[in-house]
Every structure is written in structure tokens, then in C-alpha cells.
Amino acid sequence: MKTNYQLLNAFEVAAVIAAVAGFVLVGIIIFNSLTPRTQQDVSVGANLFDLTESMDTASNAVSFMFDSTQAFYQQFYVAFADLTTLPPEVFYTPAQVATNFYDSLAAYSDQIVASYQANTQVQVAEITEPGKVLGISIEAPMPTPPAAIKKVEPVKLYYEFESIDHVWSNVFKNLKIKILN
């Protein structure tokens, strides 16, 4: 059955409006005949059919989750792009500071080793007997009577040792740190 709504006459329209108005009036009469507590329960039950508020809350939560994730990704992308596009000149100064510090520390350790070697006498001799290891052996000195012990002078090295203060001043200078007195 097909209906052409342009060919409806006024009587048919009035009959449909009267039927709707009758259903509304019957509903109002039934609702008014209920006790106040029952009327409240019916109105709360009718609100259950209105899902707009709960759907808005859920959709807002989901959209916030996706928007915040997208914002995080955008910020991460910007930070990553800024970090990875630094010019190489930015890294030259820290590399130079690390190199200078390493060189100063190496010079200081050389000073410690040279002082230890100057104060310690080790006798090394080559052994041609069986049982030698790589042709060289370290011999322990033979016990001598106390009267025959001579005082051994330390070996003089032609290396000017840097003081630890000089090493740290180079570090501070390279890092451009000013020390306030």
C-alpha cells in the first residue's frame, strides 16, 4: 500500500491529529491518577529512554582520549624533529671538552705512573736457562747484609707534571665555568 502525502485531504490530516491528541490526553489522565511516588518513578523511568546525556559523556571521554593521544604524538614529533635536526656544530664543543678532559686526566695518570716508577726499583734480567718465560724474568734481590745497602737516587725525568689544580682549571675553562672567590 502506497500513500501519496501530497493528495491527503484536510479530513485525513485532522483525523491523525485527533488520534495523537487523544493518546496524549489518555496518557496525561493515567499519569495524574498515579500516586506522587509512582509518578516520580515513571518520570525517572522515562529519563532512561533519553540517552543523549550518557552518550555525550561517553563520546566526550572517547574523543578526549583520541585528542590527547594525537596531541602527544604531535608534541613528540615536534620534539624529535627539533632534536634530530640540530646542526653538527652544536656537538663540537662538548666533544672538545670531553677530549681535553680525557687528555688532562691521562697526563695526570702518567704523572702518577712516572712517580711510582721513579720511587720503585725493579731489577730485570734476561735468563738463558730453561724455564724462562718469553726470555725475561724478574729477579728478586738477594738478601744483603745491612752495611752493604746503598741509597738509590730516583730517576730524573724530563717531564713537567701538571698539578691537579691545573687539570681542573682546564676543565673549567673548557666548560666556560667561572669560579667566584
Encode pLDDT of 21-65 as tens digits.
999 999 999 999 999 899 888 888 877 777 777 788 888 888 888
Question: 155 with 118: CB under 8 angstroms?
Answer: yes
Q: Grid coordinates in use for 154?
A: 730516583
Question: 162 with 103: CB under 8 angstroms?
Answer: no
Q: Is the pLDDT of residue 181 over 60?
A: no
For residues 143-149, average pLDDT: 56
Q: How far apart are CA 69 and CA 72, in angstroms?
A: 5
Encode pLDDT of 102-112 as tens digits.
888 877 877 88
Q: How far apart are CA 66 and CA 58, in angstroms?
A: 13
- Confidence band (pLDDT; 50, 70, 90) for 114? confident
Q: What is the mean pLDDT of the chain?
A: 75
Higher pLDDT, 1 or 93: 93
**Which DSSP string corresponds to 96-121?**
HHHHHHHHHHHHHHHHHHHHHHHH--
- Confidence band (pLDDT; 50, 70, 90) for 149? low
Q: For position 120, what pLDDT does the model report?
A: 75
